[in-house]
Copies of this chain bind each other. A is one copy, B any other.
């Protein structure tokens, strides 16, 4: 049952049917009503989206390209909060959300790409190859990294990390601070970072800015950065964090850090869980700070001391930009310190 069939059936032209669905003001209300009623009766579901999108050039689909796998992105509190912000706005504007991953088999991404009216690229910089595969003049907003010629959305990682680390170091004297980084090394490394490792550049990852903030605070408190141990985790999940955290917690008492500056709440929560299992007192034996402000860190006791970033607002902003509801220039979102009980 197509529009043309319906037109023939009703003895009117295809244009009239089209107008009945898309431009009510272009025909008499009576006729329109009759058309809609007959359409329903005959089982015509309205204009076909595939054909309509070809004809108009727009699909009302916005694609979000995620740096991580879909599986990870949907389970991670931060990225799913981001997505929910995006979804909320798209939804209210009559658009729909297509989820793509930069990790996808390449051809699929390319294939589906030309379907979307715009792209929100979230997370790390995707490969140049992937970038080239996007429609040339596509609307595009980058989140948490920069793309030449397109607006981006960032969070003030460095100052907020400075501020929270400074707080942690001020609230009680600490002997052995350490840093647990998130995907910071050029080569995969799920454990201690030693001098041989090379770190990703600030262009490629926001965690570099977080590190800079931590470092600045440590220097302010007269620590020698060379002597601050650093670990790295490859993925922001309990399973991947746990072995690294265990390695840290199982150090001899004299070496075990008494302050962990963690680049994410997930890392800090993993440390919290494992430390509790070992009978360490929080914050006396071990002080923890996180980053993100995810709900899970606040709906427990002790609550995480952390930096809250408004991921859903980030998503809403990205969506509004891509839909042209917001001026298309880069934005920097602020964060908020959340003082829980893991560091007091």
Interface residues of A (CB under 8 A from B): 43, 45-51, 53-54, 57, 59-61, 69-72, 74-75, 77, 80-81, 83-85, 87-88, 91-92, 94-101, 104-105, 107-108, 110-115, 133-136, 238, 269-270, 273, 276-277, 295-296, 299-301, 312
Contact = CB atoms under 8 A, between A and B. Distances in A.
Contacts of A70: 84, 87-88, 91, 97
A175 B273 CA distance: 32
Nearest to A98: B98
A81 B91 CA distance: 21
Contact of A112 (B60, B74, B269): B60
Contacts of A72: 84
Contact of A114 (B48, B77, B114): B48
A102 B70 CA distance: 22
A96 B91 contact: no
12 contacts: A45-B113, A45-B133, A47-B111, A50-B50, A50-B59, A60-B108, A71-B312, A94-B107, A95-B108, A96-B108, A97-B98, A99-B99
B61 A136 contact: no
Contacts of A75: 77, 80-81, 84
Contact of A45 (B46, B101, B110): B110
Given A71-B85, A71-B88, A91-B101, 17 more contacts: A43-B136, A45-B133, A46-B114, A46-B133, A50-B54, A51-B54, A53-B53, A53-B54, A60-B108, A60-B111, A61-B98, A70-B97, A75-B84, A91-B105, A96-B98, A96-B112, A300-B300
A309 to B, nearest CB: 15
B135 A45 contact: yes
Contacts of A104: 91
A75 B45 CA distance: 32
A273 B295 contact: no
A134 B48 CA distance: 11
Contact of A74 (B84, B94, B110, B111): B84
Given A45-B114, A46-B111, A277 B296 contact: no
Contact of A295 (B94, B136, B238): B238
B96 A84 contact: no
A323 to B, nearest CB: 13
Q: Specify which of A74, A134, A135 lies most central, judged by the most chain B CB atoms within 10 Å of its CB.
A: A74
A269 B98 contact: no
B46 A299 contact: no
Nearest to A104: B91
Most buried by B among A47, A57, A91, A136: A91
Contacts of A85: 71
Contacts of A61: 98, 112, 115
Contacts of A134: 45
A59 B110 CA distance: 13
